[in-house]
Structure 1
């Protein structure tokens, strides 16, 4: 390990190496049980070097959260087909989300299972990520639906996606693919969202609206 730790690498590459090891360790062991010793060993560096680059376990965990959050947000934004129909935009965004979480299970575990349950300040960092994704989804729905209030739809959709990805992470083999998860939520959500896009309200919601009027 000393030889591996002594190899000269650019700082950015060394930090990436440490963060990769930390994400995998936090996902497997949990924040409290994970030790800096095992993270350093997994990264192939000395523990003092981890502290030199990332100062403390708290700062290391925060760095993991920020990196994984940025990667997830970018995956969703990049996947959405700008200029496509609302249905196609929803599908492509869901596909980007679920394919990313399926391809990066350790990163998703850090965000969904660890950071939100450890407490502050980590939960607040994940809340910022969630708010950014909700705002992005709301902006897409607003563009499709015009001036109608879509905040409830955006929160419901993001919550459903998070819950489904969380379930998939612990589902027995063979685990559903990202495409299968996106198709499941698309089938579940689009019938209602399509009514919002066209301005139609049906079923119990229409009956309640009629009574209110």
Structure 2
């Protein structure tokens, strides 16, 4: 069997084990057994448990970003692009729940270097969403020089909401990818549409001075 194929089998087994058992509880023995290879072969190909986990993170992150980007057609209106991107995102995370658990939960809770790998994935997602939103905002405001920083915070918030919603959708029986995407569109796009039309929400006068409680 070619090395590349065998490595993918090992990564498949590792993602499943890490996703269901957690990084610390997962053992190289059970990963090797699930992959149908010997434990020494896993070490030969992937060096250590830490290196194996990083390889899993990188593979799952690449698969997710590829799926989201492939799902979006740039020539469509911004709301359609966002809808397609969210649908692709929730479809992928639903179809690969162990991979999403590795990215969203396991990698973030076990320190460096795992957290840095996921941070890179998130930065890529935020940059992509920013691209979609800023183009629409520039068109809506008829201001081609509108800086990306004007919508960067919105992209951060949207990505964070999508991450949390994906975890909820995977844990809630009966929630489809389209339903999750529609939930986030209903939550976010009405506000984004107003903002892009130059009608942002404003805090009431003196609201900052009102004491809490």
Which runs of structure 2 are paired with 1:5-24 in the superposition (5 Å)? Answer: 9-24=1-16
Which runs of structure 2 are paired with 1:59-208 in the superposition (5 Å)? Answer: 59-146=51-138, 147=146, 149-171=150-172, 173-174=173-174, 176-202=175-201, 204-205=202-203, 207=204
SS in 2 for 1:150: helix
CA distance in 2, matches of 1:169, 1:144: 31
CA distance in 2, matches of 1:82, 1:139: 10
After TM superposition, give the deviation of residue 35 of structure 1 in Å: 0.4
SS in 2 for 1:144: helix
After TM superposition, give the deviation of residue 197 of structure 1 in Å: 2.2
After TM superposition, give the deviation of residue 180 of structure 1 in Å: 0.8
The answer for the alignment partner of 1:28 in structure 2 is: 20
RMSD between aligned residues: 1.4
Kindly provide the CA deviation profile for residues 31-80 of structure 1, in whole angstroms up to 9, marking residues without a partner as x: 00100000000000000110010000000000000000001111111111
| TM-score using structure 2 length | 0.89
CA distance in 1, matches of 2:53, 2:8: 13
Kindly provide the CA deviation profile for residues 20-40 of structure 1, in whole angstroms up to 9, marking residues without a partner as x: 000000011100010000000
Structure 1: 4+ residue segments shifted above 6 A = none
CA distance in 1, matches of 2:176, 2:96: 12
CA distance in 2, matches of 1:168, 1:50: 33
SS in 2 for 1:195: helix
Q: How many residues align?
A: 197
CA distance in 2, matches of 1:81, 1:190: 18
CA distance in 1, matches of 2:176, 2:193: 25
After TM superposition, give the deviation of residue 201 of structure 1 in Å: 1.5
CA distance in 2, matches of 1:53, 1:182: 39
Structure 2: gaps (5+ residues): 139-145, 206-213
The answer for the alignment partner of 2:32 in structure 1 is: 40
The answer for the alignment partner of 1:5 in structure 2 is: none
